[in-house]
Amino acid sequence: MDQYKVPEWFQDIVLLEQRSRVIREYEPSVIPGLLQTPDYARTMIKARHATKTDESIDELVEARSHRLSVVREQRALLLFVVKATVFDQIVGNPEVMEAQRKAICNLVDEGAAQVQILPHTPTTAGLCSQFRICTLDTAQSVIYCENAVEGEKYDAPEQVDAMMTLFGQLQAEAMPPSATIDFLKAIR
């Protein structure tokens, strides 16, 4: 993948994705970038980068959309927990959201990813921000947390252990994958 098409601060993360055996991601506010359709990604990128040219936005959309195919070629196990409120929010328009839901269902049906919805509950381990754990091999994992400006990486064993435990809690609280697909198909 051409590294110049992604923001400089994100280039290391793309390389981590490409080297990962397992990617675990929790997302409480938007569809995870790896799962975004081009139209969903375009809406998100345009909203965030209002002064960029259409050409620049198209390059960013292409780069974001291409990441999943590269990760799939590496046969990485992709595990996502997404908060249900992500699907309540219309990004772009209802057609963009419908296409996005169908794309996720297709990825799950193909065995390319496991997606679980974290339902609306007043108390949950999901009252935290987005994070991703990239496992490169049995001895090395890297945590990535994104904020409004850029992202940060952490790889200390105690940090990785804490986040692996949190991800496990989120998976336990989330709907099973089959119920997630039923949930996504039922949304209109």
Digit-coded pLDDT (tens) for 29-63: 999 999 999 999 999 989 888 888 888 889 888 88
Query: Which pairs with CB-CB distance under 8 Å and at least 24 residues apart come from 65-68?
Result: 65/36, 65/37, 65/38, 65/41, 66/1, 67/1, 67/14, 67/17, 67/33, 67/34, 68/34, 68/35, 68/112
Digit-coded pLDDT (tens) for 104-128: 999 999 988 999 999 988 777 877 8
Q: In 3-state terms, what secondary structure has residue 47?
A: helix
Q: What is the pTM of this model?
A: 0.89
Distances (CA, A) of 1 to 5, 6, 95, 138: 9, 10, 29, 25
